[in-house]
Amino acid sequence: MRQVRTIRYRDIADDLRQRLEDGEFNAGRLLPSESELSGHYSASRVTIRKALEALRIESLVDARQGFGWFVPGNTVRQPLAHLATIEAQLEAEGRRSERKILDFAFVRPPARVRSILGVDKALKVRRVNLADGEPFARVTVWCPGQLGAGVSRAQVQEQSFYDLLPVTIGGATQTIGADAANATDAELLQIPVGSPVLVCERVTEDLAGVPVLIGEYVFPAHRTEFTVDLPHPEASIAPSGLRLVE
């Protein structure tokens, strides 16, 4: 009886496709590294890469420099045309939003936070935000101690500071930059150390222009994008609000 010869990378692609269909890897999650897959299937990394490339053609997996291979999912898109919370934006897309509180304490804040808020004591809340059960942001929020005095850990688990603080929010300034994930954020966001992240700092003010909140948001770059509406664009191809960092 003639033995049918199979092509190794196709066999591996078929097995990985079945694992994806079985839900072993959720949308947005990283696959094992090429080295790990090579050991699992007893195949060369060249063969593993060919199998992954075959799945990428089917749009089942994707890869980005610094991340490796992952299962593509819906990108968390955040419009910057108006002031809104992450949770509200996710809910508007019909996605499930959760918060995992890591730290809740009244502390002496870092020098930069003291300078902006003008206080020596602040409420610090550090959390991980999840979209459909997957981590997509590490968030650290600071507010003056006197404003946060009536806020509880249980409240920040469920509600936005915008709803909890005894002030009326006037507006915010948001700055976005690129960085590499440190060990702590990499573990929280389930991404490799050193992989690209977007870092957003938002300083929120009351109606009198006094800063009442500082938020730092760290997002995996492969799962997040910011969009800016330009209803009356000027005659320039330069991105709005761009400035050169010295």
As a whole number of Å, the CA-based R_g of the chain is: 22
Give the pLDDT score at 226.
72
Q: Quick one: average pLDDT of 46-65?
A: 88
Token pair recorded at residue 172:
């915010």
- Among 91-95, 102-106, 178-182, the range scoring the smallest mean pLDDT is 91-95
List the beta bridge partners of residue 78. Answer: 226
Cα distance between residue 123 and residue 229, in whole Å: 33
pLDDT tens readout for residues 111-161: 999 999 999 999 999 999 988 888 889 999 999 999 999 999 999 998 889
Q: Which CATH superfamily is domain 76-227 in?
A: Chorismate lyase-like (3.40.1410.10)
Cα distance between residue 61 and residue 73, in whole Å: 9
Give the pLDDT score at 145.
95
Give the pLDDT score at 234.
60
Yes or no: say if 226 and 205 are a contact pair by the CB < 8 Å rule: no
Paired sense of beta strands 211-220 and 196-206, if any: antiparallel
Give the pLDDT score at 235.
58
Q: Quick one: average pLDDT of 157-174?
A: 89
* Local structure of residue 153 (DSSP, 8 states): H
Give the pLDDT score at 76.
59
Domain 8-70 class, CATH top level: mainly alpha
pLDDT tens readout for residues 193-228: 888 888 999 999 999 999 999 999 998 887 777 776
The full set of domain ranges for the chain reads 8-70, 76-227
